[in-house]
Amino acid sequence: MENPRYQILLVEDEPGIAELLQFTLADAGFSSHNAMTMQEARLAIAEQLPDIVLLDWMLPDGSGLTLLREWRNTAVTSVLPVIMLTANGMDEDKVLGLNAGADDYITKPFSPRELVARIHSLLRRNRADASRPGNIYGTITIDTERHLVTVADVPVKLDQSEFRLLKFLVAHPARVFSRSQLLDKVWGDEAFLEERTVDVHIMRLRKSLGVAAGYIKTVRSIGYLMDAKPD
């Protein structure tokens, strides 16, 4: 399957893994560029914003998580799709990566087919987000074209997953969704994520919404809903 318009930035310092990644991506029709350090990644992002970043956890000049947090706190890269690619496979490491703003997480050694499938899934979700109209719910306004969310006219920073989750909940107010339903509806055919991932994203979204966090209610033993009357 050809994907000539999609550019992928690899941030990987191990030459063998970087070579395997570039071969895998080229075979799937993607264009890619490799950065071996945080500084090289910063320069690459400044020169051209990629469609997706594959980000290693441990780099010679620091942690990939530090780089990810920098991007999430910068307007132009705040919703840049990022897949963490690391040898840290413990649940707490995955939660840490998701809390830092990663859209997905895959551990080494990885299956090339699985990696390509995750990239395609993330690209499809981004295309779907871009095609949906904006919404207003209470004090929350969602501008899809500019990928901007405001609460009481004050801009708030959301990453790609938070933005997608908020859009879905706002589009279906007063309806209770289980964690598995949210995984299916918000992340689509992304079958690699666990249900606990939803809790992590809900927690992050509430924190980002600040005074409007109370719109998102927890329904014990079931899931979550968007309530018209915040706490």
Residue 2 has pLDDT above 80, yes or no: no
The stretch 151-163 carries a mean pLDDT of 87
Q: Which numeric CATH code is attached to 7-128? A: 3.40.50.2300
Residue 112 and residue 17: Cα distance in Å, rounded?
A: 11
Report the mean per-residue pLDDT for the chain. 83
What pLDDT is recorded for position 1?
44
Per-residue pLDDT band at 40 (split at 50, 70, 90):
very high
**Tens digits of residue pLDDT in 82-99:** 998 877 666 677 777 777
Kindly tell me the number of DSSP H helices and DSSP E strands found in the chain: 8, 14
Tell me the CATH number of domain 133-226, given options 1.10.10.10, 3.20.20.220, 3.40.640.10, 3.40.50.300: 1.10.10.10
H or E stretch at 143? strand 140-143
pTM to 2 decimals? 0.61
- In terms of average pLDDT, the best of 5-14, 79-88, 167-176, 184-193 is 5-14
**Structure token digits, residue 212:** 């409007």
Percent of the chain with pLDDT over 70: 87
Q: 136: helix, coil or strand?
A: strand
Q: 161: helix, coil or strand?
A: helix
The stretch 205-225 carries a mean pLDDT of 91
Which residue reads 């840490």 in tokens? 96
Range in 95-109, 153-167, 204-218 the model is least confident about: 95-109
**Tens digits of residue pLDDT in 101-129:** 888 888 888 888 889 998 988 887 766 55
Instruction: Yes or no: say if 147 and 79 are a contact pair by the CB < 8 Å rule.
Output: yes
What pLDDT is recorded for position 130?
54
Better pLDDT: 62 or 228: 62
Q: 18: helix, coil or strand?
A: helix
Domain boundaries, given as residue ranges, for the chain: 7-128, 133-226
Per-residue pLDDT band at 189 (split at 50, 70, 90):
low
Which residue reads 């666990």 in tokens? 194
